[in-house]
Each structure stands twice: as C-alpha cells, then as structure tokens.
Amino acid sequence: MQQRNQPMGSMQDWTLRVARLIDHAAREHPTREIVSRWADGSETRTNWAGIRHDALRMTQALRRIGIQPGDRIATLAMNHHRHLVSWYGAVGVGGILHTINPRLFEDQLDYIVNHAEDRVMLFDKAFAPLVARMKPRWPTVERYICFDSGEPAPHFEDWIAPEDGQAQWADGDERDVCMLCYTSGTTGNPKGVLYEHRSTMLHAMSAITPPVFGMDTRMVMLPIVPMFHAASWGLPWAGAAAGSKLVFSAVNEGAVLCDLINREHVTAAAGVPTVWLALLQHVDATDGAIPGSLKTIVCGGSAMPRVMVERFMRQGIRVNHAWGMTETSPVGTAGTETLDWEELSLDQRVAVKAMQGRPPFGIEIRCVDLGNPATVLPRDGKSAGALQIRGPWVVKRYFKAEHDAVGDDQWFDTGDVGIIHPEGTLRLTDRTKDVIKSGGEWISSVELENVAMGHPAVAEAAAIGIVHPKWGERPLLVVVTKQGAEVTQDELRNYLRQHVAKWWVPDAVAFVDAIPHTGTGKISKKDLRELFREYQWPV
Amino acid sequence: MQQRNQPMGSMQDWTLRVARLIDHAAREHPTREIVSRWADGSETRTNWAGIRHDALRMTQALRRIGIQPGDRIATLAMNHHRHLVSWYGAVGVGGILHTINPRLFEDQLDYIVNHAEDRVMLFDKAFAPLVARMKPRWPTVERYICFDSGEPAPHFEDWIAPEDGQAQWADGDERDVCMLCYTSGTTGNPKGVLYEHRSTMLHAMSAITPPVFGMDTRMVMLPIVPMFHAASWGLPWAGAAAGSKLVFSAVNEGAVLCDLINREHVTAAAGVPTVWLALLQHVDATDGAIPGSLKTIVCGGSAMPRVMVERFMRQGIRVNHAWGMTETSPVGTAGTETLDWEELSLDQRVAVKAMQGRPPFGIEIRCVDLGNPATVLPRDGKSAGALQIRGPWVVKRYFKAEHDAVGDDQWFDTGDVGIIHPEGTLRLTDRTKDVIKSGGEWISSVELENVAMGHPAVAEAAAIGIVHPKWGERPLLVVVTKQGAEVTQDELRNYLRQHVAKWWVPDAVAFVDAIPHTGTGKISKKDLRELFREYQWPV
C-alpha cells in the first residue's frame, strides 16, 4: 500500500491538540466576550484573547511548581471564566484536567481524588469547608488554589500574577489524554473516563455542526450544565472552535438565569430538565415571560417531559433534545427538525422533539434485545432494547481498568433502553435497571412518568417496579402534586388508561412531598426504591 | 510523557477514512435523494443507500481487474450520480481518485494522465471524441469505462452489473492519499495536489459547520461547480456527512438550472460568478424570477462583483462568498454574517458580503509585504499583501515533487493579494501577478473591475497593466458593454473617478466584443495581456 514512506506528496501535518481551539478563538474572535456571574451577584467580563493569555500564564505557574505532562489537575468549581481558564491552562501544559462534582458523597470524593492521584486542586471558596474536611484524605494533592478568594489557599489571580504569558503550549501526541471525568455510578466505585486531545477535538468539530448545537460566533451560549458534568457537554471547547460568546453563572436559580439571559442577550442555553423547570416556575411565579433573546434550548441529562417541550415550542423556542453520557464525551444524539417539519402540526412537532434525536456524523447507535444481546433489533419505531453506541469520542477503557469496557466490535452498552425509529431518531424509554418487568413483558417507567406529568395536577412523577406475587413486578407511580392542586389515585389511573396500554397502568399511586434526585438533577430511582423497599400492594 | 504505551484507559480507535462518510449517509439518511439531470434532459433518481451499494459494486469491479490500493483512477466527466458513485468506489478500494478537467488543452491532458499514471479512465460520452484522440498518448490507461453509453467503452452500469455489493472498503492509514487534483496553472506544467483521507475528512467536518456551508439533511444542495474543480468544493464529501439531498446537472445553462432548482426545491447552490451571471441573464431575458426555494448561494472561484451580491441580497438570498484553491481542498475562507449584522444597512451588508469571509477553525491566514515577505502585515483593513495560508487541508508537497511547497512554518503562498480586516475578514484585491505597479505603488486590477462592473452600461470589465514610459505600468480597462447600451471612455473614467483614488483611474478604456475566460470560468488575464501585447498608450 502507498504510505508515508513513499514520498508522493501530501497535505500539512496538523495534530488534533486542544490548544488549537483557544489559539483559533483568540486569533479570530479575540474580543468576543466571556461573562461570569458569581454567586455573590458580581460579574466579571473578559474575552477569548483574555482567556488564552491567562491560560498561558497558568501553564507557566504550573511549570514553576513542577507539573509534568500527564499529571492530573483537579477542579472543584461551578461555572465561571476562571474555571474556563483552568481548562485550557491544565490541558495546555500537557496535563489532564480532572473536573470533580462537588455534590458527590465524601467517600466518593476520597476515592476519585486518590484514584486520579490529583497533584493540584483548584476550588471555589464555596467549597472551602468541603476541601478542609477532605484535605487529610487527599495525600496526593500538593497544591491548593482558590478561584475566588485568598483564603484558605492562594487566590488564582495572585498565583498567575507573576507570569507574563510568554510561553508555549505543551506539544505531544494527539492521542494523549487531556481530561478525566468520573461517572457518578449508582453502584460500585465511580469510573474514570479519559478524554483524549483527538477525541475532544473531533467532538468539538462535531458539536458546532447544525445537526448538533449549530454554533457560530453570533451565538451567545449559556452553558447552565455544570463544567463538572460530562465536560459541560463540551461547550467550553466547542465555544472556542466557533468563537461564540459564553455566559457563565455560578448559581442556577430561575430568577438569576432569566435576568442573565435578558441582560446578556443569550440566544442559546443548555441544561438538564430540572433547571428548565426552575426557570419556568420562576416565570410563572412572577407573571414574567421567557426571555425574548432565547432562540434555542439544549436539553439533556434526562428526558425532557413532553409538556415542557410543548411549552417552550409554543413560545417559538427551538428545543434541541439531546442524549449522551460521560462515556460519550458526551454527545450521542441531538434533536433536529425532520424533513417533513413544515407539514407537521404542533402536536406532531412536539412528539418529534420529545425524542432524543439522531446521531451526528461519527456516532453509530443500535438497540439489542434486552434478554438476548446478540439480536440486533430493527429500526421500526417499536422494538425497545438495550442501547449501544460506538464512535471516535466513545470510551474504550476506563481509567486504570484492566479490561476494555467494549468488545472487539467496540459497541458500548449505555445502560439505557431505547427505540430507534425508521428515519434514525432515538427514543429513550428507560434505564435498563429501571425498566419494569411484568409477566415477562417490559413496561417503560419513563413513559409512565411522561404521561403522568401531562396531568394538570402533577408537578413531578416517578414510576418504579415493586415485587408482585403474580406478575413478578408491577409499576407503582410516585407523585408530587402541584401546590394547591388535588387529584385522587383513581383519577390519575383513569387518566393514564387513556394514554398507555391497559396492563401498563400502575396498580397504585403513592403521593409524596418530594421525589429524591441525584447530584446531577435526575430522579434517583435507587433512592426511591429504597424508600419503598417495604411497600406492600393494597389487598 | 503519558503515552499509548502506558495503559491509562482511552477512547475508541476510529481512523479518519473517507468510506465512513458514505457509511454514515447510507445508514442515517438512506432514502435522501441524489438527483441527476443529464445533458439530454433525462433524469435519474437514486439515494445515499443506492450510491453506497453501487460504490461497493465498483470496488468489486476494480478488484476484479487488479486495481490495488494507491492506484490512480481517473474521471473525465460532468456532475452526475455515477460520477459520485465513482468517487466513493475509487476511494473505497483504496485507490486515488483523479478528477480531470476536460477543458484543459490536449498537451496538458497528455501531461497529467502520464504524470498521474492513471490505470483506469471513466468518462462521459460527451468526451468520447477527446478520449479517442488522447488514447494513443495515454499508455498507462489499461481500462476505459463510459458513464452513460455502451460505446466506445463498456457502460458503467454493465461493468458493475455482475457485482453484488457484498464487499468491504479497503482499510489503511488515515494519511493514505485518496484524491488527486491538478491545478490549472497558467505557467509551467500543471501541479498535482494530493488529498489524504484525513485531510478530506477534517475538511468535510468543517464544511458542514455554520461558518462554512452550514449543511444538514434538510438542505437540498446543487453543486454547480464541476466535480473536476477542486473536488467540487468538497460538497460530494460534505453532503454525505450531513445527509443532504444532492442535485446534479451535467449542463450549467441558466434555463436548465432555474428549472432544476424550482422542481427539486433546491435550497442552496454553489458555483463561480459566471454561472450566477448566466442564471441572472436567463431570469432577465425571460422576465422570470430567481427560484423561490433558493435560500443560499455559495460563490467562489473568483470574486463575485458587488452588483451581483446586492442583486441576490435584495431577493432575500443569503450570499456566502467564499475563497479557496485546489491547494486548500479548497475551503480557505467563507462569508458569514458579522456580529453587528442587525444594525447594518443593506449597503453595508453588501460591502461585508462582497468580501471573502473568514477562515473556519483549522485554517490560518496572513498577508505579508509584497516586496518583503518577511514582514507580516497588520490586520488593519488597509494593508494589501501576499496572502498566505496553512492548516490541515492545505498542501505541503505537490505530487512527485522533490521539495515541499512550504517552508518550515508551513505557510503556503497563495498567489493572491489580500487585505485582512480587524475582525478577521479577508478581502481579495488581486492576484500577485495581475496587480498593477504604477510609480512604485500597487493598484488592484480586481477593484477597478468591480467598480467598472457597477456602471449600468458595463456587462464585463477587466483591468491589466500596460508598460508605461513614466510610471512603469499604468492600468488599461477592457470593457464589454451590455447589449444596446452605450458609454464613452470619458464617461467611464469619470464614473471611476468617483469611486477610486485619482491615480488609480485607468489611462484608457478599450471596448471589445468579448473578454477571454479560462477553463474554470475566470477572466484570463494571461490571454488578455497577450491580446494587448502590442498596445500603445494614446499620445
């Protein structure tokens, strides 16, 4: 075969290294702003040129304290521009950026910092008490830096102040690791996913395409999703590739977000359904309106309820309902308009957007039989199965694992249950561990929840399987009613009977004050099952 | 440094091979149509699944006749779906696709086929007489296949008919060469530019982003630019990555294009200014309208005159004025809306769109002093200099060349003269060999032409430098007037005086019936200079 050693001529050498993103942004979009809204209400404004300059100064500060390529540099912080600087600084020195979720249990924080062998820890002062408690358990951490205070560790700005930014990014192989995120697994120890320079770059190039986030320099993006959640969906990288304006907020309250979106003319925002719920609740409570500058919302992390999709669409806002996970960098699918969009009714459009969209170029998905994974299911819009994924930004092996997380054909098991429609759109119906097996058939807990959420009296709903003497398992619906609203079990079951198969209708409804959530804002089925461990079906 | 040999964990292996494009299109957008309008007016309809199936059958046919990876497979054809099939088939077998411009001189055709050592030649029957003449001079070509006839060579469809498509794409390194295009250089022999699988894939991923062509599956793209011109601007590759509908026409007459755009609901079309001129002339001659489905036109190859930009914009059509060359795969810059777009008047918007846009992520441009290339010029919107470019899809070394075409820092000299504005927008003012040097100062021939084209009586204009006893060179304006229109030299010079510096105004105007064009539709300054070789300034 014709190869490198046969000098035919060629294209230029250009390694897929992450520093190229910030170099591009600072060169072509130097004055495009990066705005930070801090927890205390104060704001900081910088731009892509400023981010690059500070990131270069951070590489100098890191080199001064002996950080080597491959060393792990941890952050324990909310979203702000200094956190962004630290991403490019840590990766730019050839290090591995390790973003930590501060909402994890302390035993998990103990585990992951020691597993990662983090050498440097950059944190927000809001987490100073947590850091103080954890410090004795984190022997590998040699240096603490505080992003927004001079106490109890050096202030980030003071730390980089002596540096002049006259430095070079670390060079290296494009398959060097640049980032580490641990999954907040519900069983066993968290698992570390290692992103490479190459995978991060291909993911960023895909993220800015129209079938994913469709980004350009005119976009003003508010990544509500925290930077410690699956790389904030890659937006801090993609934003540089596109030269977009980025707006960060250290708090995610509805009032703060609405105000920020209005003042900064945010055109697109990305977050999990719970933050959108908070935003809508604020709008309702204040008789306000969804900010007019907002053109697109990206929703992921868990499925957006259909009623919420419809509410945004009725306001003329484009809903981009996406799906992904830490193991997929994270974009797996994203929701775009279908070919027949112009002919669809609002109701049909909502149905399309309530699904999770299609894989962008690079990603492959398939569903296999839940009982027999060797059988690949047809894309018929009906067959629900275990969702598998593969592609250039999908995990092959977890950090320090002894075996690959995938087989020879690279398919990765997502733990989700999905249906693929003929035109390729993915509809998630459940997590494999949450699906309810009744009389040998599968019932989707997520679909039950989605329908229940459509009832005007329901604020939040969750369905779990409860052991049943005859059917193996039967669904129990757990409901939080809206303030001031009332609904009976029978009314709810009748309502459900109109929307799902008769045998799917939950045998009982339990009314509760609140449904437990995970640190990432999803319904915690694990906690819910624990709560209803002693539950007995009414006789 | 942490490397592959230290098993930390990782992302999946995924080589950047071109076959992934057609696999994606056939998997996710199988029924999205590919329409061909042949020279005889007949039409063929297939889709991405059909293209892939036929391309696989072509790999089987190629293997049957002993084609090996690295072998060159040539095409001499206009735009149609079989030409598209042959792209993916030639590249899919591991071969090097060599698209030949049938409008080249026979000596050039002789040179490039022998230089490329093409083994297979696929051609349109329209070029059968040319093939018959050239055959004795092409000893390396073992096999001729005709795309649309059984004479004088086997018909493409018959050739692949025995194959079943049950085959695998050739595997290999992502830096293997997949395509070869010769520049239609005006001096010396044509030079071969080799595109690699990797460069082609990165170019395709960039091409679909909003700052370039912004493609998705809803787009209906008509690549008017021939497939033998700089890979049809990469649209046959990018179209697969996006799953767009593609519409091809073997002829580029205004009437045919308007009809096709209307009937196939084409939303975007890409071509050189001369085809847009032909389309507008057809619209005017028939008292017709620009087809309403058309939302975007991509214009490249040479600068689109300002009056044409304005005409399209007044119709509500988005003008994407791009720049590139064979050596740059070809996208170098593309024209998007500026940040202050909403505040601009139509006139200001036209001025923005009359420029060549900005480099997408991956590409770097700069201008250096025309007399002293070591001096990099500021991005001040004023300093004109020699345009240089570098990036992952820019040539390093021409085919079989003994030396790189670039220095250690990879900057490639484009031969264009440009100005870069503070926000990064490129404005081309000339070719370095066409710029007119008068009294030690530079005059842009392209700017003179652009202004002259704004005069209502001028159909086409070209400016060239003529030796002058006092000033070294002075500009001569060559003009074709519109049918029925009249204008004098003095009237034109007065008109120009209102728009350019006084010392730029051409000393004389020569009225001609036609201005010579190159095979790619650009004004041929070389032929024009030849025509006016004996010209004497009026005394």
Chain B, residues 285-324, CB within 8 A of chain A, namely none
Contacting residues of B for A230, CB less than 8 Å apart = none
Nearest to A215 among B6, B68, B210 (CB): B210
- DSSP 3-state of A313: helix
| CB spacing of A336 vs B70 below 8 angstroms | no
- Kindly give, in sequence order, each residue whose CB lies less than 8 Å from that of residue A491, ignoring residues fewer than 6 positions away: none
Contacting residues of B for A391, CB less than 8 Å apart = 12, 14
Nearest Cα of chain A lies from the Cα of B91 at a distance, in angstroms, of 13
Contacting residues of A for B393, CB less than 8 Å apart = 11-12
Quote the pLDDT of residue A186.
60
- DSSP 3-state of B232: helix
Chain B, residues 33-72, CB within 8 A of chain A, namely 68-70
Q: Is the Cα torsion angle B45, B51, B57, B58 positive or negative in sign?
A: positive
- Judge whether B437 counts as a catalytic residue: yes
pLDDT-derived band at B187 (thresholds 50, 70, 90) equals low
Q: Say if residues B373 and B415 touch (Cβ distance below 8 Å).
A: no
Quote the pLDDT of residue A184.
72
Kindly report each contact of residues B160-165 with a partner whose C-beta sits within 8 Å and lies 24 or more positions away, as own/partner.
B160/B54, B160/B57, B160/B58, B160/B60, B160/B61, B162/B61, B163/B56, B163/B57, B163/B58, B163/B60, B163/B61, B163/B64, B164/B57, B164/B60, B165/B53, B165/B54, B165/B56, B165/B57, B165/B60
| CB spacing of B69 vs A390 below 8 angstroms | no
**Residue owning tokens 């119906």:** A429
- Taking the model in full, what pTM does it have? 0.92
Which is the catalytic residue, given B163, B327, B449, B460? B327
Nearest to B214 among A24, A210, A424 (CB): A210
pLDDT of residue A454 exceeding 50, the answer is: yes
Which percentage of chain B shows pLDDT scores above 90?
A: 87
pLDDT of residue B401 exceeding 80, the answer is: yes
Chain B, residues 222-251, CB within 8 A of chain A, namely 241-242
d(CA A24, CA B316): 31
pLDDT of residue B233 exceeding 60, the answer is: yes
- Kindly give, in sequence order, each residue whose CB lies less than 8 Å from that of residue A455, ignoring residues fewer than 6 positions away: A487, A492, A495
> Does A373 contact B at CB distance below 8 Å?
no
What would the two tokens of residue A74 be? Answer: 């941890």
Question: Rounded to the nearest 10 degrees, what angle do helices A19-28 and A81-92 cross at?
Answer: 130
CB atoms within 10 A of CB B144: 19
Contacting residues of A for B358, CB less than 8 Å apart = 28
Chain A, residues 410-469, CB within 8 A of chain B, namely 410, 424
More confident residue, A327 or A305: A327
Containing A134, the helix (H) or strand (E) segment is: helix A128-134
> Does B329 contact A at CB distance below 8 Å?
yes
List, for residues B313-322, the tens digit of each pLDDT value: 999 999 999 9
Mean pLDDT of A181-206: 91
Which percentage of chain A shows pLDDT scores above 90?
A: 87
d(CA B215, CA B207): 8
* DSSP at A136: G
More confident residue, B104 or A375: A375
- DSSP 3-state of B93: coil
pLDDT of residue A213 exceeding 60, the answer is: yes
* DSSP at A379: S
Nearest to B172 among A1, A395, A424 (CB): A1
Q: C-alpha distances in angstroms, B325 versus B105, B248, B301, B333?
A: 20, 22, 8, 10
Quote the pLDDT of residue A29.
98
pLDDT of residue A439 exceeding 60, the answer is: yes
The interface predicted TM-score (ipTM) is: 0.91
Quote the pLDDT of residue B538.
85
pLDDT-derived band at B2 (thresholds 50, 70, 90) equals very low
**Residue owning tokens 């009437």:** B255
| CB spacing of B214 vs A214 below 8 angstroms | yes
Which percentage of chain A shows pLDDT scores above 70?
A: 98
| CA neighbor of A17 nearest in space, from A198, A159, A264 | A198
List, for residues A48-82, the tens digit of each pLDDT value: 999 999 999 999 999 999 999 999 999 999 999 99
Mean pLDDT of A520-536: 88
Quote the pLDDT of residue B3.
45
- Judge whether A327 counts as a catalytic residue: yes
| CB spacing of B396 vs A10 below 8 angstroms | yes
d(CA B368, CA B436): 17
Q: What is the number of residues in chain B?
A: 539
Which residues share a beta bridge with B426? B357, B420
Which is the catalytic residue, given A276, A323, A393, A442? A442
> Does A396 contact B at CB distance below 8 Å?
yes
List, for residues B333-384, the tens digit of each pLDDT value: 999 999 999 999 999 999 999 999 999 999 999 999 998 999 999 999 999 9
| CA neighbor of A429 nearest in space, from A439, A419, A442, A420 | A419
pLDDT of residue A5 exceeding 80, the answer is: no
> Does A208 contact B at CB distance below 8 Å?
yes
pLDDT-derived band at B186 (thresholds 50, 70, 90) equals low
| CB spacing of B9 vs A176 below 8 angstroms | no
More confident residue, A439 or A358: A358
Q: What is the largest CA-CA distance in chain A?
A: 81
Which residues share a beta bridge with B298? B270, B320
Quote the pLDDT of residue B432.
87
| CB spacing of B10 vs A206 below 8 angstroms | no
DSSP assignment of B249-315 equals ES---HHHHHHHHHHHT--EEEE-HHHHHHHHHHHHHTT----TT--EEEE-SSPPPHHHHHHHHHT
Q: Is the Cα torsion angle A298, A301, A302, A308 positive or negative in sign?
A: negative
DSSP assignment of A451-502 equals HHHTSTTEEEEEEEEEEETTTEEEEEEEEEEPTT----HHHHHHHHHTTS-G
B/e letters for A115-137, b = 16+ CB within 10 Å, e = fewer, are bbebbbbbbbbbbbebbeebeee
- Rg of chain B's alpha carbons, rounded to an integer? 24
Which is the catalytic residue, given B48, B169, B323, B442? B442
| CB spacing of B361 vs A242 below 8 angstroms | yes
pLDDT of residue A1 exceeding 50, the answer is: no
Average pLDDT, chain A: 94
CA angle A129/A134/A140 to nearest 5° reads 135
Average pLDDT, chain B: 94
- Judge whether B442 counts as a catalytic residue: yes
Q: Which amino acid is at A400?
A: K
Quote the pLDDT of residue A216.
97
Residue A337 burial (10 A CB sphere; 0-12, 13-18, 19+): middle
pLDDT of residue B296 exceeding 70, the answer is: yes
Which of A12, A194, A410 best tests the B interface by mutation, with the highest count of B CBs <10 A? A12
List, for residues B47-88, the tens digit of each pLDDT value: 999 999 999 999 999 999 999 999 999 999 999 999 999 999
| CB spacing of A24 vs B205 below 8 angstroms | no
Quote the pLDDT of residue A7.
53
Quote the pLDDT of residue B5.
44
More confident residue, B521 or B351: B351
> Does B169 contact A at CB distance below 8 Å?
no
List, for residues B170-185, the tens digit of each pLDDT value: 999 999 999 999 997 6
* DSSP at A440: T
| CB spacing of B198 vs A410 below 8 angstroms | no
pLDDT-derived band at A274 (thresholds 50, 70, 90) equals confident
Quote the pLDDT of residue A187.
65
> Does B220 contact A at CB distance below 8 Å?
no
- DSSP 3-state of A271: strand
List, for residues B188-211, the tens digit of each pLDDT value: 789 999 999 999 999 999 999 999
Contacting residues of A for B173, CB less than 8 Å apart = 1, 3-4
- For residue A12, the chain B residue with the least C-alpha distance is B396
pLDDT of residue A4 exceeding 50, the answer is: no
| CB spacing of B196 vs A11 below 8 angstroms | yes
Mean pLDDT of A300-313: 92
Nearest Cα of chain A lies from the Cα of B427 at a distance, in angstroms, of 15
Which of B361, B397, B402, B414 best tests the A interface by mutation, with the highest count of A CBs <10 A? B361
Quote the pLDDT of residue A518.
80
Quote the pLDDT of residue B302.
83
DSSP assignment of B159-213 equals HHTT--S---PPP--TTSEEEEEE---SSSS--EEEEEHHHHHHHHHHHTSTTTT
Mean pLDDT of A3-11: 63
- DSSP 3-state of A376: strand
- Interchain CB contacts (distance < 8 Å): A and B: 210
